[in-house]
Amino acid sequence: MMSNEVVQDWTDSTVLLKFGEHKDVRYKVYWDGAKLLQEITDPDDSPIHTLELPPGLVMEKQSYEVLLRYVLLDVVHREAKP
């Protein structure tokens, strides 16, 4: 079993979506073997999305926050389609 290395531990965030809507989420960035992942959940730990990041994309906290918004906008957009 491969061990996980945490890049950024669980962080609570309120993400601004379109039209003044906000979504409260928690996210964590970690290595799972050779994969760099950003795991996003609701505050109650219900999964929203796990994004595999390119290995060279280790960033500062503010950059993960920006990435988080784009991921959520995409996920919300896909969920809104009939």
Q: Under a CB-based contact definition with an 8 Å cutoff, are residues 40 and 26 in contact?
A: yes
Apex 56 CA angle, 53 and 57, nearest 5:
50
Q: How far apart are CA 1 and CA 50, in angstroms?
A: 20
Structure tokens belonging to residue 79: 């969920």
Q: What is the pTM of this model?
A: 0.79
In the chain, which stretches have pLDDT less than 70?
A: 1-3, 76-82
Q: Determine the pLDDT at residue 3.
A: 61
Q: Determine the pLDDT at residue 1.
A: 38
